Amino acid sequence: MRTASRCLAAAAILLLAVPAAAQAPVTALVGATVIDIDGGAPIADATVLIEGETIATVGPRGSVAIPAGARVVPMPGKWLIPGLMNMHVHFGLKLPGAAGDALLKETDGEQTLRMAGNAWKALQAGVTTVRLVHTENGNDFALKRAIARGEVKGPRIESAGELIVPTGGHGFREVDGPYGFAQAAREQFKRGASWIKIAISGGISDTHGAIGAAPMTDDEIRTLIEVAHRNGMKVTAHNGSVTAAEQALKYGVDCFEHGYFLDEKTLRRMKAQNVWLVPTMVVSQPGAHEFYRRIGSPDWYLKRVELVGRDHWAMLQNAIRLGVDIALGTDQFPHEPNDGTTATVAEAELYVKAGMTPLKALQAGTIQTARMLGLDAKVGRIAAGQYADILALDADPTRDIKALRTIGFVMKGGDIVRDDDNLAVPRA
Ligand SMILES: [Zn+2]
């Protein structure tokens, strides 16, 4: 009897809950052309119906009924694509030079607030999902939770926590021996990491050691990767070295960042093992020089960038030709000015310049990245059941990738966070 009345009470709550859920705000984006990110025919004069934070229906106008009371946003002449995703981001980035030096005494509180500001700017630039690949002291998870709770606006965050390296390596959290790496990986997991980032070679910003070096032992790499995989995390490695790449590939690494000096043999092996490449081309190509001058980078740093740039470019061309899975990442703020646009858009343009079709470059920043993260059921497409992460452009990016320079409308999870043309302002 008591169970029965409890069931009735539960049923009553459910009945009350249904009308409330049905009141989730409904938005209809009407009249734009929706790009099929999988390469099918675009939908011209489309209606995209959004309920709450999710896409309910997408189809030609007339095939989609717009419920009474919905907010209707007219979008004639616009092209809709899924929100962009950037897989190599540090919202708290500090680099060698005057700008980085000014941040040496930054507290965690100050850094987290600076990161929140950068997260907002990244979202404004059309980046609705990021993977953070090093942030100190768990500040990334504080930001991730604040965004998830709606206290701060920014992209969806997947994070690797702190970059783990051997003592003297390219990074922050220095550990030694297999157990040192295991413990550091488990600590990131406890904080909320879904990835582990290690540095298995040197980097452009190092003052000692070579980019081509491979300082980790087999035991260290093997144990680190095993511990990460046992906890459901993937491992990405900062890497420019062929020797270090072979070592990490032997033990099942999931992804390489940068890949500066990777040769054809290594790239073929990556392709065979479904290992991802996040190229971060913008850090080594000419468009970055303006950036390095702005942040007051020293001369030795600029020289190193130029030296690495040519090999990095040849590596990207090879990777594209060989069909290695590429996910877009910048290693600069997603919104950082670069070559007259943002770093994220400049990165996609470089992929096209190096041999991708515009559609492939778009995929590298949307469904490919979603697939790499294992989130493709929820993000990366404009399709029913996905989060409503949608950008509007003034031209067709599958014809010319430079159309990404015209992002003027950004929606994340049904929330319009940018609307340059006031499309969503009701007209009398
Ligand atoms: Zn980085």
Render pLDDT for 32-91 as a digit per residue (tens, 0 to 9). 999 999 999 999 999 999 999 999 999 999 999 999 999 999 999 999 999 999 999 999
- Which residue from 327, 409, 330 is spatially nearest to 376, judged by alpha carbons? 327
CA 90 to centroid of ligand 1, rounded, Å: 7
Residues 320, 257, single domain; the answer is yes
> Is the model's pLDDT at 136 over the cut of 90?
yes
Residue 43: inside a domain, yes or no?
A: yes
Using pLDDT thresholds of 50, 70 and 90, give the confidence band for residue 206: low
Q: What percent of the chain has pLDDT over 90?
A: 79
CA 337 to centroid of ligand 1, rounded, Å: 17
Instruction: Please tell me the distance from the alpha carbon of residue 131 to that of residue 148, in angstroms, as a whole number.
Output: 15
Residues 218, 349, single domain; the answer is yes
Chain mean position to CA 37: 17
Instruction: Please tell me the distance from the alpha carbon of residue 159 to that of residue 182, in angstroms, as a whole number.
Output: 18
How many Cβ atoms sit within 10 Å of the Cβ of residue 366?
28
Residues 398, 346, single domain; the answer is no
Query: Which pLDDT score is estimated for 420?
Result: 98
Integer-rounded Cα Rg, in Å, for the chain is 23
CA 344 to centroid of ligand 1, rounded, Å: 14
Residue 113: inside a domain, yes or no?
A: yes
| Domain residue limits at 315 | 84-373
> Is the model's pLDDT at 27 over the cut of 90?
yes
What does the mean pLDDT of the chain come to? 92
Residues 43, 160, single domain; the answer is no
Residue 7: inside a domain, yes or no?
A: no
> Is the model's pLDDT at 218 over the cut of 70?
yes
Query: Which pLDDT score is estimated for 12?
Result: 46
> Which DSSP symbol is given to 287?
G
Question: Is the CB of residue 86 less than 8 Å from the CB of residue 130?
Answer: yes
CA 426 to centroid of ligand 1, rounded, Å: 42
Mind giving me the DSSP string for 86-133? Answer: EEEE-TT---SSHHHHTTTT--HHHHHHHHHHHHHHHHHTTEEEEEE-
Instruction: Residue 67: give its domain's CATH number.
Output: 2.30.40.10
> Is the model's pLDDT at 1 over the cut of 80?
no
CA 258 to centroid of ligand 1, rounded, Å: 9
Query: Which pLDDT score is estimated for 209?
Result: 60
pTM: 0.92
- The sheet carrying 234-239 orders its strands as 173-175, 164-166, 195-199, 234-239, 255-258, 276-278
Q: What percent of the chain has pLDDT over 70?
A: 92
Residues 255, 140, single domain; the answer is yes
CA 131 to centroid of ligand 1, rounded, Å: 11
CA 281 to centroid of ligand 1, rounded, Å: 12
Query: Which pLDDT score is estimated for 2?
Result: 47
Stronger pLDDT, 144 or 307, i.e. the higher one:
144
CA 331 to centroid of ligand 1, rounded, Å: 5
Residues 58, 181, single domain; the answer is no
Residues 403, 359, single domain; the answer is no
CA 197 to centroid of ligand 1, rounded, Å: 10
Residues 89, 187, single domain; the answer is yes
Residues 254, 140, single domain; the answer is yes
Instruction: Please tell me the distance from the alpha carbon of residue 111 to that of residue 116, in angstroms, as a whole number.
Output: 9
Tens of pLDDT, residues 84-115:
999 999 999 987 777 788 888 999 999 999 99
Tens of pLDDT, residues 258-316:
999 999 999 999 999 999 999 999 999 988 888 888 888 888 888 888 888 999 999 99
Which H or E run includes 223?
helix 218-230
Residues 76, 106, single domain; the answer is no
Residue 244: inside a domain, yes or no?
A: yes
Report how far apart the first and last C-alpha atoms of the chain are (Å, whole number). 58
Stronger pLDDT, 68 or 21, i.e. the higher one:
68
> Is the model's pLDDT at 11 over the cut of 70?
no
CA 71 to centroid of ligand 1, rounded, Å: 40
CA 329 to centroid of ligand 1, rounded, Å: 9
CA 363 to centroid of ligand 1, rounded, Å: 22
| Total domains, the chain | 2
Query: Which pLDDT score is estimated for 4?
Result: 46
Q: Please give the average per-residue pLDDT across 14-19, as a whole number.
A: 47
CA 133 to centroid of ligand 1, rounded, Å: 6
Residues 118, 230, single domain; the answer is yes
Per the rule left: phi > 0, alpha: psi between -120 and 50, beta: everything else, 267 is alpha
CA 330 to centroid of ligand 1, rounded, Å: 8
Residues 65, 152, single domain; the answer is no
Residue 215: inside a domain, yes or no?
A: yes
Residue 1: inside a domain, yes or no?
A: no
Using pLDDT thresholds of 50, 70 and 90, give the confidence band for residue 171: confident
CA 427 to centroid of ligand 1, rounded, Å: 45
Residue 276 half-sphere exposure toward CB, CA atoms < 13 A: 24
CA 401 to centroid of ligand 1, rounded, Å: 25
Using pLDDT thresholds of 50, 70 and 90, give the confidence band for residue 3: very low
Tens of pLDDT, residues 388-398:
999 999 999 99
CA 88 to centroid of ligand 1, rounded, Å: 6
CA 147 to centroid of ligand 1, rounded, Å: 22
Instruction: Please tell me the distance from the alpha carbon of residue 35 to that of residue 51, in angstroms, as a whole number.
Output: 20
CA 115 to centroid of ligand 1, rounded, Å: 15
Q: Please give the average per-residue pLDDT across 323-330, as a whole number.
A: 98
CA 46 to centroid of ligand 1, rounded, Å: 39
Angle between helix 139-148 and helix 108-124 axes, rounded to 10 deg: 50
CA 238 to centroid of ligand 1, rounded, Å: 8
Query: Which pLDDT score is estimated for 22?
Result: 53
Both tokens of residue 353?
A: 């310049």
Instruction: Residue 330: give its domain's CATH number.
Output: 3.20.20.140
Residue 13: inside a domain, yes or no?
A: no
CA 64 to centroid of ligand 1, rounded, Å: 44
Residue 426: inside a domain, yes or no?
A: no
